[in-house]
């Protein structure tokens, strides 16, 4: 991106481009699959990282499927992947994962207890709902759900 000046063009400073890129990433919502992965990564998180095989087992998916999503999350700077398939949440990834995990707990409880959904249906519905509700509204929704329980 260039800014026009009287004397020609001026390149946008790298720091400003980085800030804009971070804001764009923050504004992009996660898919249901991305949210599901972050919740699982949060559950499995430890000092030694998370093995891809453990993610695959927890989600009942193949390692290639896990690899593709980890690459996508890495592209959004939410995880870092090192040799031998070990995955680490970045600070931002951990922050978002913790937030979604707490939202998931509230929505899952509401759907399973108040609407009598099976655990599997409540889990799938909770993740789908979190993916579809705008980020700025999820907190309000969860507060209202907690008030009803």
Average pLDDT, the chain: 86
CATH of 32-147, one of 1.10.10.10, 3.50.50.60, 3.40.50.280, 3.10.400.10: 1.10.10.10
Residues in the chain: 149
Residue in this structure with the two tokens 């889990």, named with its chain if needed: 123
Res 10: pLDDT: 52
Q: What is the average pLDDT across 69-90?
A: 92
Domain ranges of the chain: 32-147
Res 24: pLDDT: 47
Q: What is the average pLDDT across 117-134?
A: 95
By CB atoms closer than 10 A (0-12, 13-18, 19+), residue 131 is middle
């Amino acid at each position: 991106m260039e800014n026009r000046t009287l004397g020609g063009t001026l390149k946008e400073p790298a720091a400003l481009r980085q800030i804009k890129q971070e804001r764009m990433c923050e504004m992009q919502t996660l898919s249901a699959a991305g949210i599901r992965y972050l919740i699982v990564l949060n559950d499995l998180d430890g000092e030694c990282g998370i093995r891809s095989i453990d993610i695959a087992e927890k989600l009942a998916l193949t390692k290639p499927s896990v690899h593709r999503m980890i690459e996508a999350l890495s592209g959004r700077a939410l995880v870092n992947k090192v040799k031998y398939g070990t995955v680490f949440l970045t600070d931002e990834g951990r922050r978002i994962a913790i937030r979604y995990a707490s939202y998931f707990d509230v929505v899952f409880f509401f759907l399973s207890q108040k609407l009598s959904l099976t655990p599997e249906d409540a889990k799938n519905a909770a993740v789908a709902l979190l993916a579809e509700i705008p980020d700025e509204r999820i907190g309000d929704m969860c507060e209202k759900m907690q008030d009803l329980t």
